[in-house]
C-alpha cells in the first residue's frame, strides 16, 4: 500500500469516527476545540517554541504518542504537497524513476547512460522531498565507536550511569538499573508506561523487519537489548515501506536507506552504516551515511517524534566543523531514526588506549584539544551544555579533525531552564534521565546540581590530561570521591607552565575555582598569544557570514502561509481526536484493572487539560458514563465481599462525578459490612487462639521429652564433625605441599585428643609416621627449618620412635659440583652464613687426588676486615685500625689465629682450620702450576720497583682453580706436622726469583708483619 493510500484510509477512518459520534455536533465541537486552543495558548502552562508548536504540560501514553506522530507525519506530507503545488515561482525538477530506470544508450557515446524521468510520480516524489528538506538542516554528531558485533549485556568502566532518581513505572516500582558497565556508552534507564498493546496487522513494522532477518540475528539481539523490545510487546500498527534484496540480507528504511553494518550501540540506540539509494541513483561517489535507530526509551516517550525533531533544530545551532552533522529525523512505522554523516577515523577513547603508556603525540594531542575547544565554545555560546563529554564521545577523522557527538542528550544551561519561556526545553532532558559518566562528570553533576558550562570544562580538563599522559588525572575516581580524598593531579611533564595552569584550573573540584570558560582555556593553551585574537576574529567573521547566508537562504525559502500556525492548530485537533478515540476504547472494554483505571484517568485528565476553562459537552457525557460503570462495579465488589477492591473503586470513582451522594452511601454500606466482618473475624480469631494455646501446651510436653534425646544426638554429631574437621586439618598439613606450620599442627592434635581420645589413639601411629616422612622431605630443602620442626614434634609426641629416628643431613654450599671451577666467577664460589650476621671467607672447592680428599680453601688471604668482625663480635681482641681493612691481616700470632678459627666454627656450624702444607701446595699449583708474573714480590731492576708493601687481598691474578696471591704479598702459615707450622709462598719482601708457591721457611708461630694466613674447610659429609 502506498503512502497516499495510507493517508486516504486514515482520513476516511477519521471521517467515519466523527460522523458516528452521537454526543457532539462536529461543527460545534470544532469551534470549541479551536476556541479552547486559542485560550490555552495564552496560559502559562502551554507555551510555543519559535515554530509555533504547543508544548503540552502533561505526558501521554506510548500508543497515543505513536498515533500523534503518525497523524503529524501524514499532515506534514499533505501540507508539503499543497505548498509545492502553490509554489509556482520555484523551479521543480522531475524526479528520476524510483526503482526501474529506463536506459537508452547513444551509439556514438557508448559510455554514457541516460535515465528517462518518470513524471507520473512527480507530485508524490516532490512532496516527499519537501518533507525531507524541512528537517534536513537539523544535524547532530555521532561517531562509530564499537566493533560491528557488539555485546551489550555487560558495560565497561566508562559507561554513563544514572543518578538515584531514576524513572519509575506507573505502579510506583523503580525501573531496573544497569549494574555492570563495560564500555563508554551512555545508558538510559527504561521508561515504563501503562498503555494498551496494539495488534500488528500490516505484515510487520520496520523494527520487526530489521530484527527478523536471520543474517542480522546477532545485530537484532543487540538492537532489542538497547530498545527494550520483548515478546510481550507487539509492534504498533503503523504502515512501513520496507523491502529487502534477493538474498534477504540487507534491509531498507523508507524504501531509501539500505542498512549494511552496525557501527556502534549507544544509550540512544543503534548506529548503522547505510547506503542512500537516491545518491546511488544519482551516481554519487560517496553514497554512504550513518543512521541511528532510536531505542525504546526514546520511541515510547510521549511526543517523542516532535520532541526529537525540536532537539535536532537545537543541535543545528551548535553545528560546526568539529561536530558531527545530523541530516534528518524521520519515522518508518514505529521506528524513529536520524541520518548523519558517515565518517572514517577512530574514536578518541581507542586512541587513548593505544597510547596508554605515553599519551598521544603532543602535536596530535594539541590539535585534537583545539578542535574540541572550538566545538564547545560554539555550543556554550548557544547556551548548550554537553553534560556527557568523554573520550568515547569524540571522534578523530583520518585527516586529524576532532568531532564531538552525542549532543542529543545535551542540556540547556541554567538561565534557560529558569525562564518562563520553554521554547528551548526538550522532552528528553539529560538531568531528568540522570545520564552521566562518573569518571568525567563534575562534582556538581554528581551532586545533582543544575548544569553549567563549567561541567564541560571539568570533563575537558580530564580528557586533556588523559590524551597528554595516557592516564586519568584521578585514576578514574569520580570527582566527589577524589574531592573527599583530597587528591591532586600530578604535574604533566614536557609542557609549558601556562598550559599546565590551564589544565589544572579546569580540573578544580569546585565551580568557583574552575577556569571560567572554554574560550579562556583555549586562549591559555594556545602557543602564541597574539594569534588568538586573530583566530577569534576569523571565527566570529565566519560565523557572521554563515549566519547571514543562512538567514538569506531561509528568508527566500519560507512559505507564504505560516506553517507553524498550521501545525500548532493541527496538533491540537489531532490530540483531541486521539484522546476521544482512546477514551471510547477504554469505555468499550472496561476491565477495571489497575492499568486500565490509571490509563483511563490519565486520558480523561489530559482531555480536561486541553480546555483551561470548560471542556466540551462530550467530555461531561463520557465522564458520567464512566461513573456509571464504576457504580455498577462498586456494587458487585461489595456484594462479593471484596471490600478492599470496593474501597479502591470508590476512591477512583470520585474523579468522575461532582455529586458524591451515591458514593457516600456506598461508603456507609462498606463500613457496615466491614464492621460485621471485623466482629466475625474477631470471634473466629479468639476461638483459633484458644485452640492454638491447647495445641501448644500439648506440643510443649512432647517437645520437652524430645529435647534431651535431640541434644544428645546433636552433641554427638557436633563432636564428630569437629573431630573430622580437625583431622582434615592434620591430614592437609601432612601432605607437605607447603612449609609445615607446627603451631597450627599442635592445635589440631590437641583438639583431636580433647574431642575423642579413644579414636585419636587409633590414629596416632599413622600421624607420627606421616609427620616423620614430612620432616625428612623438608630437611632436603631447608635443614634448619626441618630441625626446628623435629624438635617441636618431639615435644608433641615424646614417645615416638619414628620421629626420634629422623636424620636431617646438612646442605653445604661448597659441593663437589663446583670443584675446580672457582676461576669461572661468583657462581663457582661458596660462603657460609654467620649466625651473628654476615658471611665467612669466600671459599673455593679444590678437587682431590689419590692422596688428598677434596676440600674448600679461601680464595683470598684472610683480610683485616674479616679479623675485625671476629674481634668486634667476640671481644677477644682489639680491632686493627692502623691499616686498610682490605689488606691481608698480619702481625698476629698462631694463638690469635686459633681463636679466630674457633669462633668461626661456632658462628657457622662448619669446621675451619689452617691448611696442611700438601693441601696448600695442591691448591696453589692447581692443574697448570703457572705463577703470576706480576705477583707482589721484591724486585728492583731497570727502573722497576716492587715489593715495598702489602697490597689488597683481591689484587692479583688467580690460578686455574681461582686462588689469588698464592705467591708473594703475605707469606701464609700452614701445618707441616701435627703441631709444627711453617710459612709458605713467600712475601712482598721475598726476592722475585725465589718468590714461588714452593718457597717454605720455618716459623715459630709468633706475630710478624709479613706473615698472614688463609683457611681450609672440610666438605660436609666428606
Residue positions in the annotated binding site for ATP?
A: 292
**Residue 982 is placed in which grid cell?**
711453617
- A 10 A CB-CB count for 813 gives 15
Counting every residue, how long is the chain?
1022
CB 917 within 8 A of CB 906: no
Three-point CA angle 908, 912, 913, nearest 5°: 160
- Separation in Å, CA 738 to CA 732, 775, 792, 933: 10, 12, 17, 54
Contacts of 282 (CB under 8 A, 6+ apart): 96
Can you tell me the distance from the alpha carbon of 834 to that of 189, in angstroms, rounded to the nearest whole number? Answer: 69
3-state SS track over 778-832: HHCCCHHHHHHHHHHHHHHCCCCHHHHCCCCCCCCCCCHHHCCCHHHCHHHCECC
831 is written with which cell numbers? Answer: 660462603
DSSP-derived pairing of the beta strands 102-106 and 109-116: antiparallel
Separation CA 321–CA 400 (nearest Å): 12
- Three-state SS for 701? helix
Of 917, 889, 909, give the one whose Cα is nearest residue 978: 917
CA distance 241 to 375: 37
CA distances from 65 to 298, 334, 582, 801, 853 (A): 11, 10, 12, 92, 103
276 in helix, strand or coil?
strand
Phi/psi for 888 (5° steps) reads -65, 145
**CB-hemisphere CA count at 13 Å for 392?**
22
Please, are residues 141 and 325 in contact by the beta-carbon 8 Å criterion? yes
Strand partners, 347: 395
Sign for the CA dihedral angle at 71, 77, 82, 87 comes to positive
SS3 1020: coil
Contact 571, 49 (CB under 8 A): no
Binding residue positions: 292
Is residue 975 within a helix (H) or strand (E), and if so which, with residue range?
strand 971-975
For residues 232 and 296, the answer to whether their CB atoms sit within 8 Å is: no
Q: Helices 563-588 and 62-86, interaxial angle, to 10°?
A: 140
Q: What DSSP letter does each residue of 872-935 carry, written as one string?
A: HHH-SS----SS-TTSBP-S--HHHHHHHHHHHHHHHSS-EEPPBHHHHHHHHHTTT-PPPTT-
- Distance between CA atoms of residues 401 and 588, nearest Å: 60
Task: Describe the crossing of helices 563-588 and 594-609 by its angle, rounded to 10 degrees.
Answer: 150
Helices (H), 228-303: 277-281, 296-299
Q: State how far the alpha carbon of 687 is from the alpha carbons of 676, 684, 700, 701, 981, in Å.
A: 17, 5, 20, 22, 116
CA distance 200 to 182: 36
Question: What whole-number distance in Å separates Cα of residue 530 and Cα of residue 544?
Answer: 22
Amino acid at each position: 500500500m502506498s503512502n497516499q493510500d495510507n493517508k486516504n484510509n486514515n482520513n476516511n477512518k477519521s471521517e467515519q469516527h466523527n460522523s458516528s459520534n452521537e454526543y457532539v455536533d462536529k461543527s460545534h465541537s470544532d469551534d470549541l476545540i479551536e476556541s479552547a486552543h486559542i485560550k490555552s495558548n495564552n496560559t502559562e502552562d502551554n507555551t510555543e517554541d519559535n515554530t509555533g508548536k504547543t508544548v503540552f504540560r502533561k505526558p501521554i501514553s506510548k500508543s497515543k504518542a505513536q498515533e500523534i506522530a503518525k497523524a503529524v507525519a501524514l499532515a506534514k506530507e499533505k501540507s508539503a504537497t499543497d505548498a509545492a503545488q502553490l509554489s509556482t515561482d520555484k523551479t521543480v525538477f522531475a524526479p528520476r524513476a524510483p526503482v526501474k530506470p529506463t536506459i537508452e544508450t547513444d551509439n556514438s557515446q557508448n559510455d554514457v547512460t541516460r535515465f528517462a524521468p518518470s513524471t507520473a510520480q512527480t507530485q508524490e516524489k516532490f512532496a516527499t522531498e519537501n518533507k525531507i528538506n524541512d528537517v534536513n538542516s537539523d544535524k547532530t554528531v555521532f561517531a562509530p565507536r564499537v566493533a560491528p558485533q557488539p555485546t551489550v549485556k555487560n558495560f565497561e568502566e566508562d559507561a554513563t550511569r544514572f543518578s538515584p532518581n531514576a524513572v519509575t513505572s506507573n505502579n510506583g516500582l523503580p525501573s531496573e538499573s544497569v549494574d555492570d558497565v563495560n564500555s563508554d556508552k551512555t545508558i538510559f534507564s527504561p521508561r515504563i508506561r501503562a498503555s494498551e498493546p496494539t495488534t500488528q496487522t500490516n505484515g510487520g513494522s520496520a523494527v520487526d523487519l530489521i530484527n527478523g532477518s536471520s543474517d542480522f540475528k546477532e545485530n537484532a539481539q543487540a538492537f532489542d537489548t538497547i530498545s527494550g523490545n520483548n515478546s510481550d510487546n507487539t509492534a504498533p500498527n503503523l504502515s512501513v515501506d520496507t523491502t529487502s534484496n534477493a538474498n534477504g540480507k540487507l534491509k531498507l528504511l523508507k524504501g531509501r536507506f539500505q542498512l549494511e553494518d552496525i557501527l556502534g550501540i549507544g544509550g540512544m540506540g543503534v548506529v548503522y552504516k547505510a547506503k542512500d539509494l537516491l545518491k546511488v541513483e544519482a551516481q554519487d561517489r560517496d553514497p554512504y551515511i550513518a543512521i541511528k535507530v532510536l531505542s525504546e526509551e526514546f520511541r515510547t516517550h510521549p511526543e517523542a517524534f516532535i520532541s526529537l525533531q525540536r532537539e535536532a533544530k537545537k543541535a543545528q545551532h551548535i553545528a560546526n566543523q568539529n561536530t558531527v552533522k545530523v541530516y534528518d529525523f524521520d519515522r518508518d512505522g514505529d521506528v524513529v531514526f536520524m541520518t548523519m554523516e558517515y565518517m572514517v577515523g577512530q574514536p578518541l577513547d581507542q586512541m587513548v588506549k593505544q597510547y596508554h603508556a605515553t599519551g598521544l603525540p603532543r602535536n596530535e594531542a594539541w590539535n585534537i584539544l583545539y578542535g574540541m575547544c572550538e566545538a564547545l565554545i560554539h555550543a556554550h555560546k548557544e547556551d548548550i551544555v554537553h553534560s556527557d563529554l568523554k573520550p568515547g564521545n569524540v571522534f578523530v577523522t583520518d585527516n586529524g579533525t576532532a568531532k564531538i557527538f552525542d549532543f542529543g542528550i545535551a542540556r540547556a544551561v541554567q538561565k534557560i531552564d529558569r525562564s518562563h519561556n520553554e521554547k528551548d526545553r526538550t522532552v528528553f532532558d539529560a538531568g531528568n534521565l540522570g545520564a552521566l559518566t562518573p569518571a568525567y562528570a563534575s562534582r556538581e553533576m554528581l551532586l545533582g546540581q543544575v548544569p553549567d558550562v563549567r561541567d564541560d570544562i571539568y570533563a575537558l580538563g580530564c580528557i586533556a590530561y588523559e590524551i597528554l599522559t595516557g592516564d586519568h588525572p584521578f585514576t578514574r575516581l569520580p570527582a566527589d570521591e577524589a574531592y573527599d580524598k583530597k587528591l591532586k593531579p600530578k604535574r604533566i611533564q614536557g609542557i609549558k607552565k601556562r598550559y599546565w595552569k590551564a589544565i589544572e584550573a579546569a580540573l578544580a573540584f569546585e565551580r568557583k575555582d574552575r577556569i571560567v570558560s572554554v574560550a579562556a582555556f583555549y586562549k591559555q593553551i594556545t602557543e602564541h598569544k597574539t594569534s588568538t585574537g586573530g583566530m577569534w576574529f576569523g571565527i566570529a567573521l565566519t560565523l557572521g557570514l554563515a549566519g547571514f547566508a543562512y538567514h538569506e537562504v531561509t528568508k527566500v525559502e519560507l512559505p507564504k502561509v505560516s506553517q507553524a500556525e498550521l501545525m500548532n492548530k493541527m496538533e491540537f485537533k489531532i490530540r483531541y481526536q486521539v484522546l476521544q478515540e482512546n477514551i471510547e476504547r477504554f469505555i468499550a472494554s472496561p476491565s477495571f484493572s489497575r492499568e486500565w483505571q490509571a490509563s483511563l484517568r490519565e486520558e480523561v485528565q489530559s482531555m480536561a487539560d486541553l480546555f483551561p476553562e470548560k471542556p466540551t459537552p462530550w467530555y461531561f457525557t463520557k465522564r458520567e458514563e464512566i461513573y456509571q460503570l464504576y457504580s455498577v462495579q462498586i456494587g458487585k465488589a461489595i456484594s462479593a465481599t471484596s471490600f478492599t477492591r470496593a474501597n479502591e473503586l470508590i476512591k477512583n470513582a470520585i474523579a468522575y462525578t461532582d455529586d458524591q451522594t451515591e458514593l457516600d452511601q456506598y461508603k456507609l454500606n462498606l463500613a457496615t459490612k466491614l464492621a460485621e466482618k471485623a466482629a466475625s473475624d474477631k470471634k473466629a480469631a479468639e476461638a483459633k487462639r484458644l485452640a492454638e494455646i491447647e495445641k501448644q501446651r500439648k506440643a510443649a510436653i512432647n517437645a520437652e521429652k524430645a529435647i534431651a534425646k535431640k541434644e544428645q544426638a546433636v552433641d554427638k554429631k557436633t563432636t564428630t564433625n569437629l573431630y573430622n574437621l580437625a583431622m582434615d586439618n592434620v591430614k592437609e598439613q601432612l601432605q607437605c605441599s607447603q612449609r609445615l606450620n607446627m603451631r597450627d599442627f599442635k592445635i589440631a592434635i590437641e583438639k583431636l585428643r580433647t574431642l575423642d581420645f579413644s579414636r585419636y589413639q587409633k590414629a596416632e601411629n599413622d600421624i607420627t609416621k606421616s609427620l616423620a616422612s614430612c620432616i625428612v622431605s623438608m630437611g632436603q630443602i631447608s635443614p634448619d627449618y626441618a630441625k626446628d620442626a623435629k624438635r617441636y614434634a618431639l615435644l608433641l609426641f615424646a614417645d615416638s620412635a619414628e620421629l626420634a629416628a629422623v636424620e636431617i643431613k646438612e646442605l653445604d654450599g661448597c659441593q663437589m659440583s663446583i670443584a675446580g671451577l672457582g676461576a669461572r666467577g661468583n657462581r663457582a664460589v661458596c660462603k657460609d652464613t654467620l649466625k651473628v650476621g654476615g658471611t665467612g671467607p669466600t671459599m673455593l672447592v679444590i678437587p682431590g687426588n689419590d692422596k688428598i680428599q677434596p676440600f674448600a680453601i679461601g680464595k683470598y688471604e684472610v683480610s683485616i676486615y674479616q679479623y675485625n668482625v671476629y674481634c668486634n663480635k667476640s671481644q677477644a681482641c682489639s680491632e686493627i685500625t692502623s691499616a686498610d681493612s682490605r689488606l691481608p691481616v698480619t702481625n698476629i700470632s698462631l694463638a690469635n689465629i686459633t681463636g679466630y678459627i674457633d669462633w668461626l666454627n661456632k658462628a657457622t656450624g662448619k669446621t675451619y682450620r689452617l691448611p696442611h702444607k700438601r693441601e696448600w701446595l695442591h691448591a696453589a699449583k692447581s692443574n697448570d702450576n703457572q705463577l703470576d708474573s706480576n705477583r707482589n714480590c721484591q724486585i728492583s731492576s731497570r727502573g722497576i720497583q716492587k715489593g715495598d708493601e702489602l697490597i689488597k687481598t683481591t689484587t692479583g691474578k688467580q690460578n686455574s682453580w681461582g686462588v689469588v696471591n698464592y705467591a708473594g704479598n703475605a707469606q701464609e702459615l700452614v701445618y707441616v706436622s701435627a703441631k709444627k707450622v711453617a710459612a709458605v709462598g713467600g712475601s712482598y719482601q721475598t726476592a722475585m726469583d725465589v718468590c714461588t708457591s714452593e718457597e717454605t721457611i720455618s716459623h715459630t708461630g709468633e706475630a710478624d708483619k709479613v706473615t698472614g694466613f688463609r683457611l681450609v674447610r672440610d666438605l660436609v659429609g666428606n
